[in-house]
Amino acid sequence: MAVAVGRVWHRWGVELREPANLVSPRAIPMWTVGALLGSLVLATAQVGWWLLDDSPFRQWHYVVGAVWFVLQAAYVVVMPRWRYRVHRWEATPSAIYTQTGWLSQERRIAPVSRVQTVDMARGPLAQLFGLASVTVTTASAAGPLEIEGLDLQDARALVEALTRAAIAQDGDAT
């Protein structure tokens, strides 16, 4: 691990590169199923409208239905793949670094010395695909670092490494 001291980095043109690791490829189907479940809610609303509407003119049903179907289809196809290309993470003994989002993107960095909790969570969808998400919180209410769609083995290893590194640090990390 390289440690630059002083003014070495105080110059133009230094790039913060992307984090090294992609999440598990199984995150794509997980996000797809999640998006499909979301559009199911819209479909239910559409069906309810069809059943409750008494007027004989149905063209508005077709227009609204077609619009949301196209948008949802694009979302379900595009979003998970785009996300997969963006979502990345990297953990070193002294820092953790994530990149998330798709249309709006975000990079978060926290030194391990400021880490307060490391959580691993597995929702129903994540369990279905053998995945887990790891959330790292700091003393700040803004900006916990969350890595979604990690392979279960990777997630366990990451939690263990971070916990071990965090224990080695002193202070109350505020």
Partner 1 sequence: MSATPEAPSSEELAWRRLDRRMLLVHPLQTLFRALPALLAILFVSIGSDDSDRWELLLLPVVVVFGLLQWVTTRYRISNGQIELQRGLFNKQTTTARLDRVRTVDLTSQVHHRVLGLAKVEISTGSAAKDRLVLDSLDVERARRLRAELLHRVDPAIAAMPAPTGPAREVPTAIPDAAAVDEELLRLDPSWIRLAPFTMTGIASAAAIFGFLSQGVGRFSEEGDVFESGARWVRGLDWWIDVIGLLVVVSLLAIGAYLLSFWGFRLNRNQAGSLHTRRGLLTSREVSIDQSRLRGVSLGEPLGLRWARGGRLKAVSTGLEGERGGGSDWLAPPAPVAIVTALAVEVAGDREAVEGNLTQHGPAARRRRLSRAMWLPIPVLAALSAGVALLGWSGWVLVLVIPVAALAVWLGIDRYRGLGHRVTERHLVSRNGSLDRARVVLDRDGIVGWKVERSFFQRRVGVATLVATTGAGQQHYDLVDLTPARTYELIGEISPELLAQFS
Helix 59-86 / helix 27-52 crossing angle, nearest 10 deg: 170
How far apart are the C-alpha atoms of 27 and 174, rounded to whole Å? 33
CB of 93 to partner 1, least distance (A): 10
| Triad 70, 72, 74: Cα angle to 5° | 70
CB distance 115 to 166 below 8 Å = yes
Radius of gyration of the chain measured on its C-alpha atoms: 21
Q: Which among 25-33, 45-53, 72-80, 101-109 is the span making contact with partner 1, rule CB under 8 A? A: 101-109
Per DSSP, the residues of 58-84 read -HHHHHHHHHHHHHHHHHHHHHHHHHH
Q: Which among 23-31, 65-73, 118-126, 134-142 is the span making contact with partner 1, rule CB under 8 A? A: 134-142
Q: Does 110 bind partner 1 (CB under 8 A)?
A: yes
Q: Which among 7-15, 24-32, 60-68, 147-155 is the span making contact with partner 1, rule CB under 8 A? A: 7-15
Cβ proximity to partner 1, 63 vs 139, nearer residue: 139
Q: Which among 59-67, 74-82, 125-133, 142-150 is the span making contact with partner 1, rule CB under 8 A? A: 142-150
DSSP 40: H
Q: Does 103 bind partner 1 (CB under 8 A)?
A: yes
Q: Does 51 bind partner 1 (CB under 8 A)?
A: no
DSSP 53: -
Q: Does 21 bind partner 1 (CB under 8 A)?
A: no
- Residue ranges binding partner 1 (CB under 8 A): 1-6, 8-17, 19, 90, 92, 94-95, 97, 103-111, 114, 138-143, 145, 172-174
